[in-house]
Structure 1
Amino acid sequence: MDVVEFTPTFEQFAYTFGGAAPVMRVRPGTALRLWSEDAFNHALTGVADLSSEKVDLRYVNPQTGPFWVEGAEPGDTLAIHFVDLTPARDWGVSAAIPFFGGLTSTDRTAMIQEALPDTTWIYHLDRAKNTVAFEARHSDLVVELPVAPMLGTVGVAPAAGEVRTSLVPERFGGNMDSPEMRAGTTCFLPVNVEGALFSIGDGHYRQGEGEACGTAVEGAMTTTLIVDLVKGGASPAGTWPRLETDDHWMAVGSSRPMEDSWRIAQVEMVRWFEQLYGLHTMDAYQLLSQITEVPVANVVDANFSVVVKAAKGLLPARDAFGGIHADLRARAASLGAM
């Protein structure tokens, strides 16, 4: 399988889902190797750099894309299979940003208090060990952590001509910040506009569930993926992102408050299990109540994201979307990766 490589120039970055002209047209089944910039747009490169001084919020989460998928139209399902994610630099960066994060007041949770200290951490990458090093700024501790590459943003253009900042997660995907968005995962997104207009970005060298302080180990990333299309009528996707791995079925909900994110993802899983297993709604609800795991993706973005996942090993084997995940995994193997 041939791989189309694309490295955007600074002028080609998009900062929204919707509203941006496509950088390339691709056919379903195309393998892409894409370079993406870190979430801070390379504004923070050392511990002396402070987000309040260096980061321009108009230009964060730069997106590589969007890509026009030929033949995609509303009612179809875009399938994006992540083959490989490789850090593109030998360091990543994280920061505590004033009045941003899970444990500080914000404009939505207003308190009479000072901002937490504006602080930057640099994580050095050891490729031989496949680790990044946490180096405490105010204490005496160094910890080497395994690299676990993921993408914070994966999305398509929203419906009805809507344009959303790349900081927002919603039904179109977007800034979900889920560690589940990693190599070996197939992401299913409903197509809302002609061409789908999908983009990726916000590479993380690793991230804890919830992304508590608001930033992961942010870094430039080289992502190899295969994009394909399920035409309407062939088990169309629900209205929210669905994920499949070799081991799990998953759905992602994004909203506020967080329990509504869970409700969205849980309902999406109920609907999916109705399709996969021919279950009555109440039976799907009961079964999922006994088997699901609920990792929190983020508690910091404009909406909070929650993943509801069910282990395939507990269930009879089924194929979703015509078995396209297994097919994409086989095609990925021909690339010499996942």
Structure 2
Amino acid sequence: MEFVDYRPSREQLVYTFGGAKPSLVVQPGTVMKLWSEDAFNQALTSVEDFSSEKVDLRFVNPQTGPFYVVGAEPGDALAIHIVDLAPARTWGASATIPFFGGLTSTDRTALLQDPLPDTTWIYHLDSARNTIGFESRFGDFQVDLPVEPMLGTIGVAPPGGEVRSSLVPERFGGNMDSPEVKAGSTIYLGVNVEGALFSIGDGHYRQGEGEACGTAVEGAMDSTIIVELIKGKAPAWPRIETDTHWMAVGSSRPMEDSWRIGQMEMVRWFSELFGLHAMDAYQLLTQTAQAPIANAVDANYSVVVKAAKSLFPTVNAYDGVHADLRSRTARL
């Protein structure tokens, strides 16, 4: 296996999907060790820092990449297997940002109310116990929570020469904020441009489903991934495979359309996996699917539709790529 170690300087970070020149050219099968900056671009380092004063929305969700994958062409599927995610700092930050989040008025949910208080929380990492500590800002409550690293953003360049903000989740992936994008998962993305031009970022030390206030425990991340290419089998929307589940992610507004997109993509996947007519796949999915909310705060909302492998006959998606990548991971 070929290995690449890449740590971008601040000047090398990008803030879009599409529109940026590739940072590196990599071969399919490459193992990549990548560092990514936190979503705030290290603007919030103490509880005295306020997002309205410190965070520049032009430079949030910095991306590590993009990376050009040799041989990737429109219509192919890019498989990105997450080998390991590890906090790259001893602390993470979260914040309520005025007029942003799931439980406040926004520019799209316009209500006659004052903004919620601009507040920052700092979570300190206990690496020995693998926990992060929550400390209340409006009382004296404290609790330690398990570290559960994930990547908020993972995506490829959009089609048609589009350039999209790294705050946006869409069919190219992007800022899906799904806790399922974690170590052990394989993410399948449809390639839209030559080389795919994928990037990652927005590391979360943990996040609840929905990311209710709009920010997780945001932190710099060390990521180890394996990149693989599947010719001619692009999914219409992002798919995720783990040892236990198949999943599809829909991102849109309103949220029911995100749910519909995820359901439709799983109907397609069931048809591929089991050779089912779409109506039979629709019926089977209806009785087996779960649909956790990934985020209810981004420019588009994201919903994950997932099905447990244990309920079905044994089949190999994409000719067993996930199992093969898991095997390669064990040999690293």
- TM-score tier after normalising by the smaller chain length: over 0.9
Note if 1:94 corresponds to 2:94.
yes
Cα distance in 2 for partners of 1:102, 1:25 equals 39
Structure 2 unaligned segments of length 5 or more: list them. none
- The aligned residue for residue 330 of structure 1 is 327
Cα distance in 2 for partners of 1:130, 1:2 equals 30
- The aligned residue for residue 111 of structure 2 is 111
Cα distance in 1 for partners of 2:159, 2:52 equals 34
Structure 1 SS opposite 2:123 = strand
- The aligned residue for residue 307 of structure 2 is 310
Cα distance in 2 for partners of 1:230, 1:278 equals 20
Cα distance in 1 for partners of 2:330, 2:220 equals 24
- The aligned residue for residue 19 of structure 1 is 19
Report the CA distance between 1:237 and its aligned residue.
2.9
Structure 1 SS opposite 2:287 = helix
Cα distance in 1 for partners of 2:22, 2:228 equals 17
Code of the residue aligned with 2:298 in structure 1: it is: D
Cα distance in 2 for partners of 1:72, 1:160 equals 16
- The aligned residue for residue 287 of structure 1 is 284
Structure 1 SS opposite 2:109 = coil
Note if 1:230 corresponds to 2:230.
yes
Alignment root-mean-square deviation, CA: 0.6
Length, aligned pairs only: 332
> After superposition, where does 1:40-189 map in structure 2 within 5 Å?
40-189=40-189
Structure 2 SS opposite 1:32 = strand
Report the CA distance between 1:105 and its aligned residue.
0.2
Structure 2 SS opposite 1:213 = coil
CA deviations 1:97-142 (Å, max 9, x no partner) are 0000000000001111110000000000000000000000001210
Structure 2 SS opposite 1:201 = strand
Structure 1 SS opposite 2:310 = helix
Cα distance in 1 for partners of 2:266, 2:113 equals 40
TM-score, length-normalised on structure 2?
A: 0.99
Say whether the 8 Å CA contact 2:82–2:224 is kept in structure 1: yes
- The aligned residue for residue 252 of structure 2 is 255
Say whether the 8 Å CA contact 2:22–2:67 is kept in structure 1: yes
Code of the residue aligned with 1:136 in structure 2: it is: S
Report the CA distance between 1:25 and its aligned residue.
0.2
Report the CA distance between 1:82 and its aligned residue.
0.1
Cα distance in 1 for partners of 2:102, 2:326 equals 36
Code of the residue aligned with 1:315 in structure 2: it is: F
Cα distance in 2 for partners of 1:274, 1:2 equals 35
- The aligned residue for residue 241 of structure 2 is 244
Cα distance in 2 for partners of 1:331, 1:4 equals 16
CA deviations 1:208-267 (Å, max 9, x no partner) are 0000000000000000000010011xxx13210000000000000000000000000000
Cα distance in 2 for partners of 1:91, 1:44 equals 11
- The aligned residue for residue 217 of structure 1 is 217
Code of the residue aligned with 1:205 in structure 2: it is: Y
TM-score, length-normalised on structure 1?
A: 0.98
- The aligned residue for residue 270 of structure 1 is 267
Cα distance in 2 for partners of 1:73, 1:286 equals 34
Cα distance in 2 for partners of 1:261, 1:319 equals 26
Structure 2 SS opposite 1:112 = coil
Identical positions, percent: 73
- The aligned residue for residue 321 of structure 1 is 318
Cα distance in 2 for partners of 1:245, 1:68 equals 25
Code of the residue aligned with 1:252 in structure 2: it is: V
CA deviations 1:148-196 (Å, max 9, x no partner) are 0000000000000000000000000000000000000000000000000
Q: Select 1:301's aligned residue among 281, 298, 306.
A: 298
Say whether the 8 Å CA contact 2:98–2:115 is kept in structure 1: yes
CA deviations 1:295-336 (Å, max 9, x no partner) are 10000000000000000000001111111000000011111x
Cα distance in 2 for partners of 1:330, 1:152 equals 25
Cα distance in 2 for partners of 1:163, 1:199 equals 13
Report the CA distance between 1:2 and its aligned residue.
4.5
- The aligned residue for residue 203 of structure 1 is 203
Cα distance in 2 for partners of 1:237, 1:20 equals 22
Cα distance in 2 for partners of 1:243, 1:298 equals 16
